[in-house]
Structure 1
Amino acid sequence: MLWLALFLPDLGLQVFTRGNATPGLLALADSPVRPRLIAVGREARAAGITPGMSVAAARAIAPGLQARMRDARLEAGTLAELAAWAGAFTPRVSLAGDDGLLLEIGGSLRLFGGAEAIRREVDDGLVALGLSAHAALAPTPLAASWFARCAEAVPAGSDDWRAALDRLPLRVLGTCGEVDSATLDLLEGVGLGRIGEVRRLPAAGLARRQAQAVGAVLARARGERPDPRPWFEAPPTYLQRLPLSFATDSVEPLLFACRRLFAGLAGWLTARHAGIDHCRLELLHEHRPPTVLEIVTGTPCRDEARLTLLAREHLAALALPAAVCELRLSAAAPLAFDARAGELFERPGEAAENALHLLARLRARLGSTALARLSAHADHRPAAGVHPLLESPAAKAADRLAPSGPRCRPLWLLPQPKALRPSSVALLSGPERIESGWWDEAEIRRDYYLARGPGDAMWWVFRELDPPGGWYLHGYFG
């Protein structure tokens, strides 16, 4: 087995900064009563603010400092989002404490081209998610986790990983709750500072110091005892929130935050071998109801660039009632997805997919009521045989216009037939006689023909059989 561990030391702060390209002066405080800073952003650190300061002292240095209270629920949700995203690399993902992940990648090495290739892809993906992590590889989950937390780089496949493990500081044993702090204090009290020093103590000596549990933990870390892990189960539906470090109503900053959310959604879908044909993006305001965007893709999709493009079309056509302070993205009912890509020749149906992509962009730009499709109706009369139906994410395939047989009918019908002289057209085929509608006082009796009009245009014309008769143009062929 080969484990890739991710440790996110700044998770508490990054849940607030990842939604903005330039989060500004931001810091994380421990409590609302006499708050002190426990984490400081890059710009705040550059201004001279450091962890441990009181919020009042920090604001004396930088009056514009934003001090956010730590949000454990948001941190847990972001870690779960990352775990679901990591399922794109391996189905074996496990949480490691409140700020770490473990990926068992032994079964994915051939698929991705080796451990270092997976590590590079994970690093690139973390950037897209707006997160940063220390990563490390090891044959056991505990060793990988400890290496990541100590920022110890051990090459994949290295034979001296156990020696590197011995060099780690003793305190790393308590980072995920494996050893309690009282036991660590006891061991440090007798002059022990490294894992290797503890391991070389006789087992009886450990027992006398009430630290016998340390031996079992070290055996798991060295691969001498099994260390089973519970696997993370991704939720069946996607729901993620992303607070902004400062409110904005500008399109580009909002799109930056959208890309963060769509990157997480794409990983969740990839892990499920699925796509979506619509998702919901909610823009939250301070004192107003949220603005809801229904993003419809037209075909199953998990491409974050395409989702971002559709979000751009929505935002460009939108007048926001107030600045946005938080975004929420939700998606349900993932669909089967054909992941084939990069073929030399066009796939069957690809042209139709491109047309649907265009319709999705037009819908996003013009609004959901601007586009309609034709729906078939069981009536021989041309004007009653089809009627427009607004597109929606819930439209069923059965509602779509089905082929009506060998009859030749144009899609473009005039609102009212237009009288014409028979000599102005050349009849090409017909007649198709239609006699219908006696039951609803809209009876027609006509002979329809395919005709060639001026400029070689293809017309659909008819001769009225009832008095006063006459010839009429009813539709055009494309």
Structure 2
Amino acid sequence: MTLWLCLRVPELALEVFQRAGGDDDARVVAEGGTVSAANRPARRAGVAPGQRVSAARALVPRLLCHERDPAAEARALRQLAAWSLQFTPVVSPQRPDALLLEIGGSLRYFGGLERLRTTIADGVAGLGYRPLTSLAPTPTAAWLLARAGDTTAATTQTESDAALTQLPVAVLALEQPRHHEELTGLGCETLGDVLALPRDGLARRFGHTLLRQLDRAHGRHADPRHPWQPPPRYRAEITLPRESGDRELIARGLERLLGELCGYLSGLGRGVQRLELRLHHVPRGASTARVGLLAPSRDAAHLLTLARERLERLALSGPVQSLTLLAGDLQPLAPESPALLPGAREETPWHGLVERLSTRLGEETVNGLHTRSEHRPERAWHYVAPGRGGGTPAPNPARPLWLLDPPRALTVSAETPAWHGPLTLHDGPERIESGWWDGQDVARDYYVASNPGGERLWVYRERGHARGWFLHGLFA
């Protein structure tokens, strides 16, 4: 079954400025000095679209006014399109404020129509928008229903046709704005009235756009939609409701961005391992926070925890106006499996702790260790990123977990080295002679030893001129 869902955000022009918070502030969007959209607090105070901004400010002296930003609206629509890919691969933006999703093939996977529809609407609301959804067998019909604010679930062409006939002619996208008035002058108030007129006369007077639109809506004409393709690198932006250094407000904006990202990652079947957050200041400049993960993730709560840790330690050079989130190193990630038993949950993996420590203390302060092919013990290891391997070490004799840097000279009595008492030598000697090529050559005989207290030690005797004894390591 082919079924299209139109996801429309009627107040997108306004919500791009307030979806990170700030719903309690009276706020409007203006075009050319005239209010084009007003939020609920502003409307309660008497502000309405069509008013001059000066008149609106007389009603609400502390009114927040934004000039309409079509570019920001287009970005927001693209970000919603990326988020929507988790529900269907066929997503088609319908500017200025809607998306078309072909969901017929997704119904069974998401538990049926009503559950999927609710999941989509709730998810969009969680991103800071107030959506409405309409359903029809053709994309044009779903879009026309959404433009009229009709949320009927018309799942068959018969139901869709009946719903379309009741829509006002104002929902049609016509070649000329005056065509709406001309249709009204002909006595057409609904699409049903338009359909009752002779087709030839409609084509001559209004062009073929009108008839083609109606035929597509009613399934009489092909209505192809090209699936939207996301850009190769993920980038998303959000404007804060006001310029601020309030980290809680910034974190709320970040939470919206991460919600969008994780929806996108779910659609790709991938997780992210590197995040970059840019905080754009007023009047200029930006602060940057980076987060690295040991393993790919699309857990929005976990990513937010790490990002907040980094954000708390970031020095801001001024008030923040907007945020940009960049995601890199997207890796395949298996879908999450439900727990076998109700209430069961997996233990937090060790790398979750390491990620939090790295975020809190700085990536350069938390490292892993790995051996490398080198005979000199003090050079036989190196730092690696936590969780990253450094190759398979060659088999070696037993080595202590802890090396002393530098080795500690031992006292010698009657040719017997001592450390908290005389040492008993057990295994050895293991002769190591290496490093002549880099000027750091060593010539040593190593032994495993113990003292009267039972400590197991790794000691060596210098060969050559300085034949002293040294403690180099401690066994656990």
Which residue is equivalent to 1:3?
4
Partner residue of 2:31?
A: 30
User: Residue by residue, what CA displacement relative to the aligned partner does 1:300-333 show, whole Å, maximum 9, x if unpaired?
Assistant: 1222111111111102222322221111111234
Establish whether residue 57 from structure 1 lines up as the match of residue 55 from structure 2: yes
1:330 aligned residue: 326
TM-superposed deviation, 1:102: 0.4
Contact 2:273 2:329 in 1 (8 A): no
Query: Does 15-24 or 97-106 show the bigger shift?
Result: 15-24
Question: Is the alpha carbon distance of 1:273 and 1:463 closer, same or farther for their aligned partners in structure 2, counting shifts above 3 Å?
Answer: same
Give the distance between the partners of 1:453 and 1:101, measured in 2 at CA.
76
- Deviates most, 263-272 or 91-100: 263-272
Check if 1:369 corresponds to 2:370. Answer: no
Report how far residue 445 of structure 1 moved.
2.7
**Distance in 2, Cα, partners of 1:152 & 1:203:** 26
Q: Offset at 1:210?
A: 4.7
Decide whether aligned partners of structure 1 residues 454 and 43 sit closer, same or farther in structure 2, where only a CA change above 3 A counts: farther
8 Å CA contact retained: 1:183, 1:211: no
For residues 52-451 of structure 1, the aligned pairs below 5 Å read 52-155=50-153, 157=155, 160-174=159-173, 177=174, 180-204=176-200, 206-207=202-203, 209-210=205-206, 213-344=209-340, 354-374=349-369, 376-388=371-383, 391=385, 400=390, 402-420=392-410, 421=418, 423=421, 429-451=427-449
Deviation for aligned residue 1:275: 1.8
Q: Report SS of the residue matched to 1:369.
A: helix
The answer (yes or no) to whether the contact 2:273–2:328 under 8 Å persists in 1 is: no
1:83 Cα deviation from its structure 2 partner? 0.8
SS for the counterpart of 1:45 is helix
Q: Which moved more, 1:17-26 or 1:254-263?
A: 17-26
Shifted more, 264-273 versus 451-460: the winner is: 451-460
> CA 1:245–1:340 in structure 2 vs 1: closer, same or farther (change >3 Å)?
closer
- Structure 1 residues 232 and 449, CA gap change in structure 2 (3 angstroms): same
Task: Give the aligned length.
Answer: 462
Q: TM-score, normalised by structure 2?
A: 0.88
Structure 1 residues 129-185: Cα deviation after superposition (integer angstroms, max 9, x where no partner): 2122110111111111122222223235365332121111121112xx5x5433332
Cα distance per residue 1:57-102 (max 9 Å; x no partner): 2222222222111111111011011111111110111122311110
**Greater mean deviation of Cα atoms: 404-413 or 161-170:** 404-413
Corresponding residue SS for 1:17: coil
Partner of 1:276, secondary structure, is strand
Structure 2: give runs of 5+ residues left out of the alignment.
411-417
Measured in 1, the distance between the counterparts of 2:87 and 2:14 equals: 26
How far apart are 1:343 and its partner, in Å? 5.0
Q: Is the 8 A contact 1:277 1:297 kept in 2?
A: yes
Distance 1:9 1:427, change over 3 A: farther
2:248 maps to a residue whose letter is E
Partner SS for 2:182: helix
- Measure the CA separation in 1 of the matches of 2:71 and 2:450: 70
**Cα deviation 1:405-455 (Å, max 9, x = unaligned):** 243334432212224526566666444321223344433233334456687
Question: Shift in Å at residue 467 of structure 1?
Answer: 5.6
Q: Aligned AA for 1:354?
A: P
81-90 vs 296-305, greater mean Cα deviation = 296-305
Hey, what's the Cα distance between the residues in 2 that align with 1:9 and 1:318?
36
Contact 1:452 1:458 in 2 (8 A): yes
Report the counterpart of residue 15 of structure 2 in structure 1: 14
**How far is 1:12 from its partner?**
0.6
Secondary structure at 2:364 match in 1: coil
Contact 1:199 1:215 in 2 (8 A): no
Contact 1:23 1:245 in 2 (8 A): no
**2:128 counterpart letter in structure 1:** G
Partners of 2:320 and 2:209 in 1: CA distance: 51
For 1:3, the aligned partner's letter is: W
Maintained 8 Å contact 1:451/1:461: yes
**Separation in 2, partners of 1:189, 1:117:** 43
